Amino acid sequence: MAGLRSIAATYDRARGTGSVNRGRYSNPEFDTVLAIAARELDPARREALLRQATRIVVEDAGIISTHLQKNIWAMRRGFAHEARVDERTRAQDVTPAR
């Protein structure tokens, strides 16, 4: 959510949105859906709202992806690693394999 808020939300210094929205993309529908998602406590509903917000900005060409990141982890036998959405690799995310 932080990525969408800083990259695609309408620039508003007081609200802290659009801080790296260099093209000054602005869509009130996107901003509304993102704001609702920020207040949603149910993970499944929040996920659906974030998908909706992403769909809005992509269909509106507010973001044009020029780079797709693909992370690769190597692991010693007997260990497992659950990849995080934010791409952080933390020691505490490595667990014994089942």
Mean pLDDT (the chain, rounded)? 91
Does residue 38 surpass a pLDDT of 90?
A: yes
Q: What pLDDT sits at residue 63?
A: 82
Does residue 53 surpass a pLDDT of 90?
A: yes
Does residue 68 surpass a pLDDT of 80?
A: no
Q: Tokens representing 41?
A: 């406590």
Does residue 89 surpass a pLDDT of 90?
A: no
Question: Could you give the CA distance from residue 49 to residue 34 in angstroms, rounded to a whole number?
Answer: 7
Question: Could you give the CA distance from residue 36 to residue 3 in angstroms, rounded to a whole number?
Answer: 16
Report the predicted TM-score, pTM, of the whole model to 2 decimal places: 0.66
**Neighbour tally for 30: CB within 10 Å:** 22
**Neighbour tally for 13: CB within 10 Å:** 8
Exposure string over 49-84, b if 16+ CB within 10 A, otherwise e = bbeebbebbeeeebbeeeeeeeeeeeeeeeeeeeee
| Segments making up each domain of the chain, as ranges | 2-59
Please compute the mean of the pLDDT values over residues 62-76 and round it to a whole number. 82
pLDDT in tens, 21-33: 999 999 999 999 9
